[in-house]
């Protein structure tokens, strides 16, 4: 029987979880889109977040994990959700290239916050372990031509905030304060801690996993020297 399920189709989360040396299966779902009422016991477990319950990244992660549990599996389940926030506005994935331009124009030359909520449901349990990680990111000032050149690569279209810090978009990033892997979508320190609490042995340390993951990248984003795992 598989001991761990990753409730996400994100290849970035897959790669980061793999870097910890874990075996797992992927069971993606659309649980974060559910609108059913959240049990008060779950709400009480959520970390503090200022932008409302509906947008809480840890709650969205819990919805994914719970949807995976409802398929009948008794394995431990890991889920995560990432949002980008600037001026108290949540920037999701762009609808089209014009929307991607709007998002990147808003972010260019400024600091913003990336939140990633992480939830682990231990094996045969519906009692979640919940955390919320945050990192501050500053994009370089960008010309319109630079923004459109980046959009033309196609990379922004499935990324919250319309950029991927671990890919070509890393060239647009001036600095990261906090966990770099929070910005990618699965904070390694938080993930390793929750999995350990859930009774799952994590073969590699966070630092080892960070180095293993970095080695898989074709090109290192420029800001990696200014951040930590």
Catalytic residues, which ones? 81
Give the H or E element holding residue 81: strand 76-86
For helices 206-215 and 188-197, angle between their N-to-C axes, nearest 10 degrees: 130
What are 82's two structure tokens? 């990432």
Report, in angstroms and rounded to the nearest whole number, the Rg of the chain calculated over CA atoms: 17
Tell me which residue of 52, 80, 66 sits closest to 186, measured CA to CA.
Answer: 80
Report whether 3 contacts 123 (CB < 8 A): yes
- Own/partner long-range contacts of 193-198 (Cβ < 8 Å, ≥24 apart): 193/131, 194/78, 194/118, 194/119, 194/120, 194/129, 194/131, 195/4, 195/20, 195/22, 195/76, 195/78, 195/120, 197/120, 197/129, 198/76, 198/120, 198/121, 198/122, 198/123, 198/129
């Amino acid at each position: 029987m598989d001991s761990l399920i990753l409730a996400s189709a994100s290849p970035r989360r897959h790669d980061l979880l793999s870097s910890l040396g874990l075996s797992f299966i992927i069971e993606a779902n659309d649980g974060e889109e559910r609108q059913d009422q959240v049990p008060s016991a779950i709400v009480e477990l959520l970390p503090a977040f200022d932008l409302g319950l509906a947008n809480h990244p840890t709650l969205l992660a819990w919805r994914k994990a719970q949807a995976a549990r409802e398929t009948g599996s008794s394995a431990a389940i890991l889920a995560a959700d990432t949002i980008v926030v600037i001026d108290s506005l949540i920037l999701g994935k762009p609808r089209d290239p014009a929307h991607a331009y709007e998002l990147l124009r808003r972010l260019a030359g400024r600091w913003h916050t990336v939140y990633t909520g992480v939830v682990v449901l231990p094996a045969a349990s519906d009692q979640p372990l919940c955390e919320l990680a945050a990192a501050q990111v500053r994009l370089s000032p960008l010309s319109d031509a630079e923004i459109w050149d980046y959009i033309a690569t196609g990379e922004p279209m499935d990324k919250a905030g319309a950029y991927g810090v671990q890919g070509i978009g890393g060239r647009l990033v001036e600095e990261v304060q906090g966990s770099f892997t929070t910005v990618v979508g699965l904070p390694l320190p938080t993930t390793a801690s929750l999995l350990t609490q859930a009774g799952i042995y994590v073969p590699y340390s966070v630092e080892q996993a960070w180095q293993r993951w970095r080695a898989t990248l074709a090109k290192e984003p420029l800001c990696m020297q200014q951040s930590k795992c």
